[in-house]
Amino acid sequence: MDKMKITYEAMLGLFAEMVLDEAIQKYQSEQLNVAIDKALAAGDEDTFYSLTKQLNELQKD
């Protein structure tokens, strides 16, 4: 029974880590999208390309 409890706790820990990672990635994507919109509104082409590159890299993971 102890082996089963350890396995359950390990799985629960992995699941919690996955949920947290997904939440962080979603937050970062949202922040980058806001910054991209601001760069577009300001006509800042260099910042726009830099931020879109960052967003693309984040979405690959």
What was the pLDDT predicted at 23? 98
User: Which structural domain range is residue 29 located in?
Assistant: 22-61
Give tens-digit pLDDT for 3-60.
888 899 999 999 999 999 999 999 999 999 999 999 999 999 999 999 999 999 999 8
- The residue type of 58 is L
- Six token digits for residue 23: 């939440």
> 44 φ, ψ to 5°?
-90, 90
Query: Per the structure, how many domains does the chain have?
Result: 1
Residues 6+ apart with CB under 8 A from 37: none
Does a structural domain hold residue 58?
A: yes
Does a structural domain hold residue 31?
A: yes
Collapsed DSSP state (helix, strand, coil) of residue 44: coil
Residues 6+ apart with CB under 8 A from 6: none
Does a structural domain hold residue 61?
A: yes
Does a structural domain hold residue 50?
A: yes
What pTM does this model have? 0.80
Spatial separation of the C-alpha atoms in residues 53 and 60, rounded to whole Å:
11
